[in-house]
Amino acid sequence: MKRVLVTGGAGFIGSNFVQYMLSNKENIELLVNLDALTYAGNLENLTEVQNDKRYKFVKGDIRDKELVEKLFCEYDFDTVVHFAAESHVDRSIEEPELFLTTNIVGTQTLLDAAKRHWKIQPNDKYSCDYRDGVKYLQVSTDEVYGALGETGMFTETTPLSPNSPYSASKASADLIVRAYHETYGMPVNITRCSNNYGPYQFPEKLIPLMIHNARNDKALPVYGDGMQIRDWLHVSDHCAAIATVLEKGKIGEVYNIGGNNEKANIEIVRLILAELGKPESLITYVKDRPGHDRRYAIDNTKITTELGWAPVYTFEQGIKETINWYLDNVEWVERITTGDYLNYYTKMYENI
């Protein structure tokens, strides 16, 4: 029976993963969700599991060493799945320091706590049971590899060459995770995914933003010429892949997770407009952002051949389901865009 710490479990991918694990894995004894509830963390994403006796939410920052150590001692985790990160590239250009401290120092704080609970005698400050093996999984991004030309794909051996403060902070965190494995022998894995889409994504990202704006007949801002190409991965497929790496992944290895769906941004925008019956005149081309990578593409051969995972969703199926989800959950979107979702935490947890 597994006792799992999930960081950033109120965010887009994290909340989908929490729901996936509690719905599909009978060996979960306890799943603790540690989330600071910054602008992109929303507990409404987890209403379906909030009453599950195996689930516990803790509001807190991954950089808080005292809190992280306390949680390890109190709940005796054997697994850490680290999603928590500042992740929006545009925000990283404006506030790089926030990304560096959260994504790098936060990762190191979690690694230190996991290391102390892995074959290491307790220090003088803390006294609790220590496990013989705490598996640590770092959820990373294909953006750490930089940009591709018109051909080729990222493999696990592609050199890291990040081009934004966000991707540089994630690459740094990945290298720290690798160092803890090489130096201390800690049982770790790193996964690097392509662009995710699906339900519960904060509407600053491309697909939910375009759906929201198109539904309200607002301009759809497209960077540059819109020909930036990404490999799109449905979040449900991503969650299943992470679970597969936890169960079957070889310790110390990196696994790329891709959806086999390369699409240009403008192609997705036009598809959304067509699905909603809206005119392409809503498209507004805006100045490209600094350091905007032209193309990403994931080679997922390693995880498919060695671990037996493969994406289930085609993009055509996934994008239709995603559009329908946002249309069916307009109130969720409105609460996000107005900030009213923050009231949910106050209602549910502040007085506990």
CB atoms within 10 A of CB 87: 24
Among 176, 45, 153, residue whose Cα is nearest residue 100 = 176
Active-site residue, from 136, 145, 166, 200:
166
Q: Which residue has the tokens 């994630």?
A: 170
142 is catalytic: yes
Q: Which residue has the tokens 């294909």?
A: 142
The Cα–Cα gap between 290 and 268 comes to 22
Among 67, 8, 5, residue whose Cα is nearest residue 35 = 8
b/e map of 243-267 (b: 16 or more CB within 10 Å)?
Answer: bbbbeebeeebbbbbbbbbbbebbe
Contacts (Cβ under 8 Å, ≥6 apart) of 16: 45, 198, 199, 200, 235, 236, 238, 239
Burial class, 124, CB count within 10 angstroms (exposed 0-12 / middle 13-18 / buried 19+): exposed
Residue 139, beta-bridge partner list: 191
Cβ contact 133:100 at 8 Å? no
64 is catalytic: no
Q: Are strands 79-82 and 55-59 parallel, antiparallel or unpaired?
A: unpaired
112 is catalytic: no
Active-site residue, from 61, 69, 143, 262:
143
Which residue type does 255 have? Y
CB atoms within 10 A of CB 53: 6
Q: How far is CA 130 from the centre of its chain?
A: 28
CB-facing half-sphere around the CA of 79: CA atoms within 13 A: 23
Active-site residue, from 142, 231, 237, 262:
142
Q: Which residues are catalytic?
A: 142-143, 166
